[in-house]
Structure 1
Amino acid sequence: MAHIPVNHPMRPLYRTLAGLIGLYILVFGIISLTQTWGDPLFDRGDVTVLGLRTNLAFSIVSTLYGAVLFVGALIGNNVEHLINLAGGLIFILGGLAMLIVLRTDANILNFSMTNVIVSFVFGLLVLTAGLYDKVGTSEDVEAEERYRRNAVPTPTSSGE
């Protein structure tokens, strides 16, 4: 983790971006919950909300996941940093898993190719936000700068 910048100047932009993604997922989850309420949990129907296919299970997951991302953006600090790192990886791995099972009966979250692409894009954006939103003290910033400048050891003469 020594290569992750501390107090990056563009941190507010990344925090806002992650918060907006979390808000979108939360709104998507709530709307899709209202659209799929009463359907079977893992239904494979044609319910589409905000351009993404969904079912009741995906609605519940999206609502919880969006709430965690959005609340993390509101809290800020290193809580947001850890949530964004983990959240970005979950998005990417979830998209990859759903891509693998896209046209099989194992597609329990009713993903379409659009869902997979959105999952990858959101995952990359949230992961990028997680890489640049770490907060630290001025001592942490100085230590990171010293590490970055001295990361490549220089050969010293041994007096031979």
Structure 2
Amino acid sequence: MTAHTTPERRPRVHEESVDTATAHRVVVVHRIGAFAVAAVLAVFGVLGFVGGLDFFSTDGGTVAGLSSNGLLSTISLVTAAVLVAAAVKGGRVAGIVMTGVGVAFLLSAFWHLFVLNTSLNVLAFAMSNVIFSIVVGLLLLTLGLYGRVSGNLPEDNPYRANLASGSTGDDEEPELPPATAAERRAERAMREAEVAVTEHRATAQQRAMVEAMAHERTKAGRRRVWMQHS
């Protein structure tokens, strides 16, 4: 009888462990960007508390050229803490958090355009705050989405594989590397087809092959389907 061995389960490699120039640059932008914006918000929040502003005043006081009250100072410090925690956690987390916070800043800016000089202006916004929120929101979105949204990502970008395959990084099965020359050729062809589909330049055969692999969650499974249909 022939003994069947189970392939060794390999731990998933986190995208931030990829030692390439592109991977390093993407992670640095996400983490340093989060730290930098957090520092600005923290200074704004601390200055608000030092100035002894009323917590719920809709008139507010002036802090670094912006209007503020105690509630806005508190929110600024909490937001800064969240960004710092995300940056400490890692580049991917920092990018996701910055994107979410950036959207929140933009929504806040548009909301306060409608409630300026009303009793609903509980954060004591002025027009300068609206402009500041738009600028910071766009900055956070730019930093958070850096390295994620282009369809022409370089080979060593840590987000390229997830973008091309639609994977969330939560696959339960291990990603086993190609073991033979045929599997390596198949994987190169798979990658080219997946990228071609995302860039809307794929051939009919490439689209058909990518659709055939769509139900597979792991790279090994997609490679197996590719080899069966090629």
TM-score (normalised: structure 1): 0.77
Distance 2:161 2:119 in 1: 53
Label 1:143 to 1:114 Cα distance change in 2 as closer, same or farther (>3 A). closer
Q: Is the partner of 1:150 in helix, strand or coil?
A: helix
Does the CA-based 8 Å contact 1:91-1:122 persist in structure 2?
yes
- 1:27 is displaced (CA, Å) by 1.4
Which structure 1 segments of 5+ residues have no match? 1-5
C-alpha contact (below 8 Å) 2:57/2:69 kept by paired residues: yes
2:64 counterpart (28, 40, 50): 50
2:94 corresponds, among 62, 69, 80, to 80
Distance (whole Å) between structure 2 residues aligned to residue 66 and residue 89 of structure 1: 15
**Which stretches in structure 2 are left out of the alignment for 5+ residues?**
1-21, 149-155, 165-190, 206-230
Q: Tell me the amino acid that sits aligned with residue 141 of structure 1.
A: R
Q: Distance between the aligned counterparts of 1:139 and 1:119, measured in 2?
A: 30
Aligned-pair identity in percent equals: 32
How many angstroms apart in 2 are the aligned matches of 1:31 and 1:139?
39
Provide closer, same or farther for how the CA distance between residues 141 and 109 of structure 1 changes in structure 2, counting only shifts above 3 A.
same
Residue 27 of structure 2 contacts residue 90 of structure 2 at CA under 8 Å; is this kept in 1? no
Give the superposition deviation at 1:16: 2.1
When the two chains are superposed, the root-mean-square deviation of aligned CA atoms in Å is 2.6
The partner residue of 1:26 within 26, 42, 58 is 42
1:88-127 equivalent positions in 2, closer than 5 A: 88-127=102-141
Matched, 1:141 2:160: yes
Aligned to 2:9: none
Candidates 196, 204, 210, aligned match of 1:155:
204
1:15 to 2:31 alignment: yes
The aligned length equals 147
Higher relative contact order (CA closer than 8 Å, sequence separation 6+): 1
- For the pair 1:131 / 2:131, whether they are aligned, the reply is no
Q: Distance in 1 between matches of 2:126 and 2:134?
A: 13
Partners in 1 of 2:41 and 2:29 — Cα distance?
A: 18
- Distance in 2, matches of 1:81 and 1:51, equals 29
How far apart, CA to CA, are the structure 1 residues paired with 2:105 and 2:128?
14
Matches of 1:75 and 1:114 in 2, distance apart? 33
